[in-house]
Amino acid sequence: MACNAPSLCRSRLRRLEREARHFYSGMTYESAMSPRNFFYSHSYNLLYGVPTTLTGALGEWAYNEHLTFIGGLHNGWDVFDGPSDQIGFLAGARWRSCDERTSLQVLATTGKDPLAVPGGPPAPAGRDTQDAVSVIFSRQLGCRWQYVFEQISGWQDRGSFEPAGIGTADAEWYRFNQYLLYTINDCWRVGVRYEWFSADDGARVATFGGQYQAATLGLNYAPTENVTIRPEVRWDRFEPHEPATPPGPFGFAHRSQFLAALDVLVVF
C-alpha cells in the first residue's frame, strides 16, 4: 500500500496497552539487555544520564500506525521502592514514518528525589525534584547505513556534588550521542559511536564533575543466527570542571583511557 494512502496514515487504532511492574524506562537508544546492542561497552548516558529502570505503571496508546503516546507513574530512578515514596511521572511520544525508515521518540520524567545526594543537607519543600528529557532520532540511509542521534538533558534540585559543598546548589547535565552503523553483508556489520557528556555539577558522577568524551569503533560478526562476536576499541577523555577535582575517574588516577574488548553472545 502506498505511503500516502489515507487508510494507512490516518487510521485510528485507538489501542491502549497497560502494565504495572518493574520496567525499563525506554529513555535510551541502548538497552540494559546486551544482545540488543551493537557495542559491547555502554555509553555514559545509559549509566548516568537517565533512569534505566522504573517501578510503577506504564501505558501506551497507539493513535495510529505511526504515532504512539506513552505515559506512566513511577517511584524513583533505578529502585524498586524510592526513598521519597512520592509519585513520579513519565510521558512522551514515539513516531515512525510511513516508509518505516525514520523514527523519533521524545520522553520526559519528573519526580521527587530528596535523598539523591548522600551527605547533603535536607532539601526544603518544593526543592527536591529530579527531571530528565531524552530525544532519540533514527534514520535508515539506503539499504546498508543507519544513523542515530540521541540527546539528553537532566536537572536536579540541590543536586550539586562540588568541593564547595554537597547539595548546596542545583545541578544539570546534558549530553549527545551519535551512532553510524553499516551492514557489510549478512554476517558482518561495522559501527562507530561518539559521545559528549557534560556533568560539571557532579550530580551523576560524584566528585568527578566535568566534560566526558568517548569514541568507539566496533565490529559485529554473526557466523550463525544465534552467535554474535563483538570486538571493539574505545577511547575516553575527561576534562575536570573544578581545579580541586581528583586526578581522574579512570582507575581513580587518569583522565584518559584506551580500551580494547571482545565478547561473544550466544542466544538460545
Q: How far apart are CA 52 and CA 152, in angstroms?
A: 13
Output the CA torsion sign for 139, 145, 148, 149. negative
Interval 80-107: pLDDT, tens: 776 666 788 999 999 999 999 999 999 9
Per-domain residue ranges of the chain? 12-266
- For residue 122, pLDDT over 80 is answered with no
pLDDT tier at 29 (50, 70, 90 boundaries)? Answer: very high
Query: Which superfamily is assigned to 12-266 in CATH?
Result: monomeric porin ompg (2.40.160.40)
SS percent in the chain: helix, strand, coil, step 5:
5, 55, 40
Give residue 13's pLDDT. 44
- DSSP-derived 3-state class of residue 230: strand
Tell the burial category of 128 from Cβ atoms under 10 Å away from its Cβ (0-12, 13-18, 19+). Answer: buried
Most confident of 53-57, 61-65, 94-98: 94-98
Most confident of 44-58, 71-85, 87-101: 87-101
Q: Which residue has better confidence, 99 or 204? A: 99
Q: How far apart are CA 50 and CA 151, in angstroms?
A: 11
